[in-house]
Amino acid sequence: AQSVTQPDIHITVSEGASLELRCNYSYGATPYLFWYVQSPGQGLQLLLKYFSGDTLVQGIKGFEAEFKRSQSSFNLRKPSVHWSDAAEYFCAVGGGVTGGGNKLTFGTGTQLKVEL
Amino acid sequence: GAVVSQHPSRVICKSGTSVKIECRSLDFQATTMFWYRQFPKQSLMLMATSNEGSKATYEQGVEKDKFLINHASLTLSTLTVTSAHPEDSSFYICSGQGVDLPRRTEAFFGQGTRLTVV
């Protein structure tokens, strides 16, 4: 069975500081990996995704993530955080187009606070 | 990216009544729709997967008679919470996946529906 672990429930950073959100996954084959951001009471917005190819993935809003197969990790990074980045971040793993669609398993989320 | 519209965004209903939530793919044909439930400060839990024209596949522990899912067309899926109770209060989110690449490899999320049962 697939699973996702986000070890950090809460993270607080100062505006302008760098950010790294951790994500570890368990999946039996090559995973499809995603990072989503959710503002309070809102749906999910896709930040970036990894399917194959270059292991360093660029996303929207200045985010990037690196797929490391040997560590089963897909950590999200941003060099300089803005106050508007404060939100909940979810890492997710999916199995691709086989098996009835891209059914996603989500991590428990990391709540990001940004201090001004 | 593709757009999925979910309606209503908020609904309050009385205990014992039924509530219908709609999920529409606006600019693509969603052959597969996923319905998730999210409790406060928790992650999204998949409730069911539906393919257009077929019966939905429910995850373990989800009551299919309580959470009725219909996916009659390629652009519309509905979730009906029947005989709602306060414990059904939650945030429900749908996502749609299409057949044409790149939409076949990604699911697009609606804005979510906050259901409160009083």
Work out the percent of chain A whose per-residue pLDDT is above 90.
69
pLDDT tens sequence across A18-34: 999 999 999 877 788 99
CA-nearest residue to A33 within chain B is: B106
Write the CB contacts of A98 (distance below 8 Å, at least 6 apart in sequence).
Answer: none
* DSSP per-residue letters across A3-46: EEE---SEEEEETTS-EEE--EEE-SSPPEEEEEEE-TT--EEE
Q: Is the pLDDT of residue A108 over 70?
A: yes
**Chain B residues inside the 8 Å CB shell of A25:** none
Q: Higher pLDDT residue, A3 or B16?
A: B16
The whole-number pLDDT of residue A41 equals: 77
What distance lies between CA B20 and its chain's CA centroid? 10
Nearest CA to B34 among B87, B112, B117?
A: B112
Please give the C-alpha separations between residue B51 and each of A50, A101, B31, B54, in angstroms, as whole numbers. Answer: 24, 9, 6, 5
Q: Are B115 and B92 in contact (CB under 8 A)?
A: yes
* B46 in reach of chain A (CB within 8 A): yes
- With b meaning 16 or more CB within 10 Å and e meaning fewer, what string describes A2-11? bebebeeeeb
Q: Render each residue's pLDDT in chain B as its tens digit; 118 residues.
A: 678 999 999 999 999 999 999 999 998 888 889 999 998 778 889 999 998 888 899 999 999 999 999 998 999 999 999 999 999 999 999 998 887 655 566 778 999 999 999 9
The whole-number pLDDT of residue A99 equals: 43
The whole-number pLDDT of residue B61 equals: 93
Question: Average pLDDT over chain A, rounded to whole?
Answer: 90
Q: Which residue among B32, B44, B57 sits closest to A106, beta carbon to beta carbon?
A: B44
**d(C-alpha B75, C-alpha B83), whole Å:** 26
The sign of the torsion formed by the CA atoms of A86, B93, B81, B22 equals positive
Shortest Cα distance, chain B CAs vs residue A62, angstroms: 17
Q: Which residue among B32, B41, B112 sits closest to A42, beta carbon to beta carbon?
A: B112
Best to test chain B binding among A97, A98, A112 (most B CBs inside 10 Å) = A97
The whole-number pLDDT of residue A21 equals: 98
Inter-chain touch A102–B105, beta carbons under 8 Å: yes
Q: Are A68 and A76 in contact (CB under 8 A)?
A: no
Q: Is the pLDDT of residue A17 over 90?
A: yes
Please give the C-alpha separations between residue A42 and each of A2, A26, A93, B74, B106, in angstroms, as whole numbers. Answer: 26, 27, 21, 24, 19
Number of other CB atoms surrounding residue A51 within 10 Å: 16
pLDDT tens sequence across A58-97: 999 999 999 999 999 999 999 999 999 999 999 999 865 4
**d(C-alpha A110, C-alpha A13), whole Å:** 13
Q: Measured between alpha carbons, how far apart are the two ends of chain B, in Å?
A: 37
Inter-chain touch A107–B93, beta carbons under 8 Å: no
Inter-chain touch B97–A102, beta carbons under 8 Å: yes
Q: Is the pLDDT of residue A98 over 60?
A: no
pLDDT tens sequence across B74-101: 999 999 999 999 999 999 999 988 876 5
**d(C-alpha B58, C-alpha A61), whole Å:** 35
* Neighbouring-strand partners of residue A33: A50, A93
Q: Is the pLDDT of residue A102 over 90?
A: no
* A30 in reach of chain B (CB within 8 A): no
Q: Which residue among B31, B46, B111 sits closest to A42, beta carbon to beta carbon?
A: B111
Looking at B1-118, which runs of residues are DSSP E strands?
4-7, 10-13, 19-25, 30-38, 44-51, 57-58, 67-73, 76-81, 90-98, 108-109, 113-117
